[in-house]
Amino acid sequence: MLDRRRFLAFTAAGATAAVLPRFAFGQEKPFTLPPLGYPYEALEPHIDAQTMNIHHTRHHQAYVNNANAAVERWPELAKMKIEDVLRDLSKAPEAVRTAIRNNVGGHWNHTFFWDLMTPGGAKEPQGDLKAAIDQSFGGLDKMKERMNQAGAGRFGSGWAWLVVGKDGKLDVISTANQDTPLELGVRSTVLGVDVWEHAYYLKYQNRRPDYLSAWWNTVNWDKASANFAKKG
Ligand code: MN
């Protein structure tokens, strides 16, 4: 079973990796792969260990590597907060903008995603988040249905998200590829699920809706509530 102290240490590292100032130590690469807050097998049977391992150590690592390569082409990137870069991609030179959108975006999305999952978490949201979901969607099941539809309906690769929109209300949206909700001007991102085939294909093959149904069992509702509380 998960050692609590190790879990907390990993969680703390994962949660701060995306926002710490980079180049703090001269030789280090500005972007680094955050450790998971749980072992690869922890989300079984909903998400299998092999998928988690490959997704983290190969796919996410590739986004990190490519983001570091983008820094060599645009050093300013290393000095900026990731969220600020992604909120306004027009700041990036055109020659490197697509690389940043895909790879810094991929790094942010995956860091968010790993932190949003946990073994043995609460089955449903509590408090303010629960109240807002009830008010906006008419209940948790209806919100899940909207997310599942957004994820299943995303053609090709992308993400489904629960966000607090510009109007301060909860909304379900979908983005393509590694585009983030940040560039859409959302106030906060509450939930997000990766619907790229690499997130589910080994276990679920073409059955994306089955993966989406199972994924809800992994959600860290405490983290989702913390994300929701950041609004405004
Ligand atoms: Mn992915």
Assign residue 197 the CATH number of its domain.
3.55.40.20
Q: Give residue 3 CA to ligand 1 midpoint distance, Å.
A: 26
Q: Which pLDDT score, from 0 to 100, does residue 42 have? A: 98
Q: Give residue 48 CA to ligand 1 midpoint distance, Å.
A: 14
Within a domain: residue 138?
Answer: yes
Burial class (CB within 10 angstroms; exposed 0-12, middle 13-18, buried 19+) of 203:
middle
Q: Give residue 79 CA to ligand 1 midpoint distance, Å.
A: 25
pLDDT 10s digits, 183-231: 999 999 999 999 999 999 999 999 999 999 999 999 999 999 999 998 6
Rounded percentage of the chain residues whose pLDDT exceeds 90: 85
Within 10 Å of residue 46's Cβ, how many Cβ atoms? 15
Same domain, 134 and 55: no
In sequence order, the 6+-apart residues with CB closer than 8 A to the CB of 129 are: 190, 221, 224, 225, 228
> What's the whole-model pTM score?
0.88
Same domain, 109 and 131: no
Owning domain of residue 111:
4-35+47-115
Q: Give residue 135 CA to ligand 1 midpoint distance, Å.
A: 31
Q: Which pLDDT score, from 0 to 100, does residue 9 have? A: 42
Same domain, 67 and 12: yes
Q: Is the dihedral of CA 197, 201, 207, 213 positive or negative?
A: negative
Residue 10 has pLDDT above 70, yes or no: no
In angstroms, the CA 26 to CA 23 distance is: 6
Q: Give residue 74 CA to ligand 1 midpoint distance, Å.
A: 25
Q: Give residue 157 CA to ligand 1 midpoint distance, Å.
A: 9
pLDDT 10s digits, 44-68: 999 999 999 999 999 999 999 999 9
In angstroms, the CA 175 to CA 54 distance is: 22
Q: Which of residues 115, 138, 155 is at a domain's end?
A: 115
In angstroms, the CA 63 to CA 58 distance is: 9
Q: Is the CB of residue 18 less than 8 Å from the CB of residue 116? A: no
